[in-house]
Homo-oligomer: A and B are copies of this chain.
Amino acid sequence: MHKASVAVIGASGYSGIELTRILADHPRAELRFLASDRWNGDSAARRLGIQGRAGELRYAPLQGSERAASECDAVFLATPAEASLQLLPKLFGSAARVVDISGAFRLKDASAYRAFYGFEHTQPELLRSAVYGLPELFRQDIAGARLIANPGCYPTGAALALAPLLRAEVIEPAVIIDAASGVTGAGRKSGEEMSFGEVDEDFRAYKVLRHQHAPEIVQALSRCSRVPVRLTFTPHLLPIKRGILTTAYATLKAGRDPSEALRAMQDAYRAEPFVTVIDSPDEVNLKSVAGTNRCTIGLAWDRNSLDPGRLVVVSAIDNLVKGAAGQAVQNMNIAMGWEETDGLAQLRGFYP
């Protein structure tokens, strides 16, 4: 079978490494180009122990990488938002489909970039062309797309947890998302703040009420609810490597029964290969999804509880897979018309 050629720009960051490994085993794609300044000149075999032809690839410098990449059938940008913003105009004219893992093309409202990302968005037209790639919620947008904005890790966990309930109009459009992420969510960063001595045995909230994923969550949820959703979002930093656990709080609409919420959730995901609704939020955990493209979701309510109108939904994903590289490949699969699970179904978990 002829394989499509793919490139990864920003291949030595944590998401870039994960992408490289998934693509090296993909049945219909062939890795042809890897760019990374950090590993410039080195091979994927030496850096990641990748076997076969993909292992022989040598990392090229970022400078000028868009030229080689644009000759591929698909390009993954695993670069910071500012870098993606620079690269995209050079790639968009080409035949390559682009999946951008950064936040640079996710928000439809260009002015939100100033407030939440700290830069002026210079490509409003590309922003309009970009498709938000959350397959389980917006699959119809993705087929054939040329520029796919891959969702953020927190928005993936949050939107999967609440979208079916908003679509079914069983909850009020005002929600609370309390989420905790492993350190790889922040990328491959040094800095004292992320050193082992500071993170180990600690837990804390950060960017409270000002995290850049908040407007992205609102945008995704509001599209589902068809009315603007009010959101309070608190991210926390976990002393682990991978995984996001999202605990979402919602209020049942007057006259609706909690069993309708469970049914809406089950209906929404029954046919989904990567999302599983399980019996209880107590059984949702990070270790069983780490290393996979899966999302598990559990929902709880209690007619006799101390606040009977409240629903609690807990979801778990691996921030580097379903929250980044895996979802990016899922998006490419859909855009190219392949099986959505290609290269992803066989991802083994890490447990134990």
Q: Footprint of B on A, CB under 8 Å?
A: 14, 17, 21, 25, 48-49, 51, 174, 176, 178, 180, 183-184, 188-210, 214-215, 218, 230-234, 236, 238-243, 245, 247, 249, 280-282, 284-288, 290-292, 294, 298, 300-302, 305-307, 310, 312, 314, 316, 320, 345-352
Contacts and interface: CB of A to CB of B under 8 A. Distances in A.
A196 B208 contact: no
Nearest to A200: B241
30 contacts: A17-B351, A49-B288, A51-B345, A178-B234, A180-B180, A180-B236, A184-B197, A188-B192, A189-B195, A196-B196, A196-B199, A200-B241, A201-B201, A201-B240, A201-B241, A202-B240, A202-B243, A202-B287, A204-B285, A204-B286, A204-B314, A208-B312, A209-B305, A210-B302, A230-B307, A231-B306, A234-B281, A236-B247, A239-B239, A350-B350
A182 to B, nearest CB: 8
Contacts of A288: 49
A241 B200 CA distance: 7
> What 3 A-B pairs have minimum CB-CB distances, sorted nearest first?
A204-B285, A230-B307, A190-B192
A176 B313 CA distance: 13
B204 A348 contact: no
B197 A195 contact: no
Contacts of A351: 17, 48
B306 A203 contact: no
